[in-house]
Amino acid sequence: MAAGEETSHILSGLTSQLPDRDPQETAEWVESLDALIREQGTERAQFIMRSLLQRAGSQSVGVPMVTTTDYVNTIPADQEPVFPGNEEFERRYRAYMRWNAAVMVHRAQRADIGVGGHISTYAGAATLYEVGFNHFFRGKDHPSGGDQVFFQGHASPGMYARAFMEGRLTEEDLDGFRQEKSKAGHALSSYPHPRLMPGFWEFPTVSMGIGPMNAIYQAQSNRYLHGRGIKDTSEQQVWAFLGDGEMDEPESRGLLQLAANENLDNLNFVINCNLQRLDGPVRGNGKIMQELEAFFRGAGWNVIKVVWGREWDELLARDTDGALVNIMNETVDGDYQTYKAESGGFVREHFFGKSPATKDLVADLSDDQIWNLKRGGHDYRKVYAAYKAATEFKGKPTVILAKTVKGYGLGPHFEGRNATHQMKKLTLEDLKSFRDHLRIPIPDEALENDLYRPPYYHPGTDAPEIRYMLDRRAALGGSLPERRTAHTPVTLPEDKSYDVAKRGSGKQKAATTMAFVRLLKDLMRDKNFGHRFVPVVPDESRTFGMDAFFPTAKIYNPKGQNYLSVDRDLVLAYKESPAGQLIHPGINEAGAVAAFTAAGTSYATHGEPLLPIYVFYSMFGFQRTGDSFWAAADQMTRGFIIGATAGRTTLTGEGLQHADGHSPLLASTNPAVRTYDPAYGYEIAHIFHDGLNNMYGPDSQDRNLMYYLTVYNEPITQPAEPANLDTTGIIKGIYKLSDAPEPGTKPRAQILASGVSVPWALEAQHILDQDWNIAADVWSVTSWNELRRDGLAAEEHHFLNPGEPAPTPFITQQLAGAHGPVIAVSDYMKAVPDQIRQFIPNDFASLGADGFGFSDTRQAARRYFKNDTHSIVTKTLQLLAQRGEIDPGAPLYAIDRYKLLDVTAGTTGGAGGES
C-alpha cells in the first residue's frame, strides 16, 4: 500500500479488506508471535516471518507487498549494537561545532557584511554528520582508499566548524564565509564548491537533485574502476546526505533503479527528514518518511528508518496494545512540526491525549521529560546502529530516513519554524539560550559586548575531547572533506593515433560524426592511454556509428551478459561485460552527465585519470542538462562532450525538438567549456590533441576543462589535412581555408563558416567567382565562442591598462588585410556568429537558422532559413552593392535567379546520414 497524502498509516493495508472468520484463532497466532519476540527477540521473529512469507508464496497464498512499515525505528532496540565511542567527548565537541557554525553565519550577517547563510540545516543534522565523522567516513589515507561523501549543501557551515576544531581552518577563515574576493586567502564558499575551494570540497551538491544523481553514478564509477582492473574500490563507500524536501526533485528519485539494478551496496543515502521544505512542510497532510520508505523499497533499496530516540524505547515497550504506534502512524507531518514548535504540555494534550491508553503511558512524565522525547536523528546511538547496518548490508543500496528537527537547539524562534531556513541571525536571547542548551562556557558579557560578534569557542588542542576527535579521524584515514589532485602518471596517445582523422575519407563520403568515431577508435587502441577513455552514450550508439565498439570494448555491466543475445551472429553484436569500457546509461541524459562527471573527476576522487567521451543528440545536452554540466564544471570535470546530429537543418525528418540551433550559445555560458564546431576530421584531430594536452599534458595552464564538439550526420568528402595548416588558428577559433581564386582587382569578400556550412561557403566561393566575378576568401571558424572569449579578454585588458597599447583580438589579427565585407554563416541561429561582430571592423552580416526546426529535406530547410549556398551568394552581393562595388540591382536579380523564396528550389546538401 502506498504511503501518500491520504494513507498516513499502513495497518489496514494488510487486513481491512478481509473478513476475520475466526478472531480467536487470529488472536492465538498473534499471541504466539508476541511470545516468540519476548523469548527469542526480534531478529528470530524476523526470520520466522520471512520463512512464513516465503512458504505462503510457494503455496500460492496471496500476500500483498507491504511497502511501508509502522512509524517506528526499523532496527529494534534489542538489535542495536553497542555504541563504541566516548559519548561524553562526542557530545562536547558536537556542541562546539553547532555553536561555531551558527556563530559563523550570524557574524556574516552583521550590517556591514550582510552576506547571509543558513543556520538551521546543520543545527538539525549535526548528529547525522558527527556519527559518520567519528565512526564511518574513511579519509583518503585509509587503506581502503577512502569514502566519497556528498554533503548537503546548506549544511556547509557545520563542515567548516569541524575543520576549525581540527585546526584546518582559523577564526579568520570562518570570518571569511561568503566573502570570496574581499577576504581572499581567508575565504569560505557559501556551499560545497570544489572550484572555489579546490583542496577542501570534493562534490558540489547545493543545486538540489544533482547530488543524488551524482552519488549514484559515483558508486557505479567505483565499481567500474574495479571491474576494469584499474583500481581496487571494493571497500569504498559512497554517502549522500539529502533533504526530504530535496526528494521532490525528479532527479533525486529518477535514477534509483540504476543503484538497485546494479546492486550498489557501496551506496548509502542519508535523508535528513526534518519534515520541512524551505517555506513550509514537505507533506503537511501526509507522512514524507512513509512515502519515501515506500518509494525506495519499491525501487529495490534497503530502507532503514530512524524515527525515535532512545527516550521512546520504554514507552514503546509498554505499548502492548499498539495504541501509541497507532497514533504515531496516524499523526500527519504538519502536526509533528507543530509539536516541536510548542511545549511538552502541548504534546501531552494533543499527541498522547488522543487515547486514554497513551495518556496513561506518560502520566508519570513531567512536561519537560515529554519535551525531551527526541527524534531519532538526534540520537547518536540510533544513528550509529543505522549506519552500521547500512555498511554491512549486501546486495542493495541503502537509504536511511532519519527524523530530525530543523533548527534543533536554536531556541523557540528557530526550532521547527516554517521560516527557519531563511533566518540568518540570532537575538541576544537566542544566543544565550543556545549557549545554555549546548553548555558552551562563554560568559554573558562576551555575548552582550557585541551582539554581531559573539565569540567562537575552541577548548584548545590539548583538551581531551579534541585529542579524541583527532584520534578518531586519524584512525579513519584523515580529515574530510578533502580533495586531492595527485594521480597516477599517464602517457598520452602517440601522434600516429590521430593519423586516421588527418588522412581524410578519400573517395568515400563521411560525416564528421564518423570522422570522430574513427579517431576515437584509434585513440582507444593506444597501448598507454587507450584504456582510460570512457565512452558514455545514452542509447544512440548505433545512430552515431559507435556499435563498432560493442564486440571489442564491450558495454559495462557488472553482471555481465547472462542471456543469449539475439544478434550474437553479427559482427557488431551487442556485448556486455563486467570489464566493459562503454558506459550505456540507456535513454537517460541526466544519468549520462552524472556518469561523465564521475569519470571525468576520477583523477582527483581516485587518483586514477579517466577520460570520458559523452556522445549525445546535440539538442539534448546543454539544453536539457545544463545545470548538471555546471555542477560538472564546479567539480572540475575533464572530458569531451560530443553533440552529435548537430545543427538545425541536418537532422531532416526528426523535427522541432531534435533540431539544435543554439547549443553553442548555451555552452558559452559555462566558463569551463571550450566549444568547437569543426568542419573536417583533421580539425577534430587537432582539437582532441589540444584537449588531451590541456587536461593531462606536462605544460597545461588550465587543466580543468570540458571540450564541447558539435559533429554532424551529413556525409561529405573529408579532405586530407592540407600542407602548412594553421593549427594555431584551428585551436584559437579561425583559419583561412581557401584563398579566392585569382582575386586580381575583383570586388572582395570574406566568408566565415563553421561546421557543416563550410562546404556551402566553398560552393558559394566558386559561384561568386564564376558567375559574378567576385573574389571571396573562405575561413573555417572552428569556434565562434573561443574567438569571442579572446576578444573580450583583450577588451578587458585594455580597460584595466589604459596606458598600454591595446591588445588585438585573435579574430582581428587573422582578418587583418582581409578586404571586403564579412559574411558569417553557420547552421545555428545568427546569434552564434554574431558573437564576434564587435571585433571585426569590416561590414558584417550573419546567416543562420533562427526559429524552430521542422521536418523536411536538408535542401528545403536551408533554403527556408536562408543559410544555404545561394543565400551566402546573395548576401555577399547585397553587402557589396551597399558599398557601391557592384551593380545595385544584383541582389534582386540573384534572388530571382536562384528562386531564393522557393523552398523547393534549394540544392544545398545531400541525403544520407542517420537520424
CA angle, 561 then 607 then 493, to 5° = 75
- Taking the alpha carbons at both ends of the chain, their separation in whole angstroms is 43
Q: Which three cell numbers stand for residue 525?
A: 587502441
Q: Return contacts of 58-65, CB within 8 angstroms, 24+ apart.
A: 64/1, 64/13, 64/14
Would you state the cell numbers that stand for residue 909, as one nine-digit string?
Answer: 546538401
The pLDDT score that the predictor gives to residue 477 is 98
The predicted pLDDT at position 1 comes to 35
> What whole-number distance in Å separates Cα of residue 590 and Cα of residue 855?
26
Per-residue pLDDT tens digits for 210-262: 999 999 999 999 999 999 999 999 999 999 999 999 999 999 999 999 999 99
d(CA 215, CA 192) in angstroms, rounded, equals 14
- Residue 519 is given by DSSP the state H
Whose grid coordinates read 552581393?
Answer: 877
Residues with Cβ within 8 Å of 93's Cβ and at least 6 positions away in sequence, in order, are 165, 465, 466, 469
Which residues are within 8 A (CB) of 143 and not within 5 positions of it... i.e. 6 or more apart?
235, 477
| Biggest distance spanned by C-alpha atoms of the chain | 110
Grouping H, G, I as helix, E, B as strand and the rest as coil, residue 11 is coil
Task: Measure the CA–CA gap between 911 and 504, rounded to whole angstroms.
Answer: 20
Per-residue HEC secondary structure of 818-864 comes to CCCCEEEECCCCCCCHHHHHHHCCCCEEEECCCCCCCCCCHHHHHHH
Beta strand 775-781 pairing with 734-738:
antiparallel
Cβ(164)–Cβ(175) under 8 Å? no
Residue numbers of the chain with a pLDDT score lower than 70 = 1-18, 64-66, 411-413, 415-424, 914-915
Residue with cell 512536561: 367
CB 247 within 8 A of CB 271: yes
The rounded Cα 721 to chain-centroid distance in angstroms is 38
Q: Identify the pLDDT of residue 111.
A: 83
Q: Give Cα separations from 72 to 316, 382, 597, 699, 737 (angstroms).
A: 9, 12, 38, 59, 72
- Whether the model clears a pTM of 0.75, i.e. scores above it, the answer is yes
**571 class by beta-carbon count within 10 Å (0-12 exposed, 13-18 middle, 19+ buried):** exposed
* HEC string for 778-831: EEEECCHHHHHHHHHHHHHHHHHCCCCCCCCCHHHHHCCCCCCCEEEECCCCCC
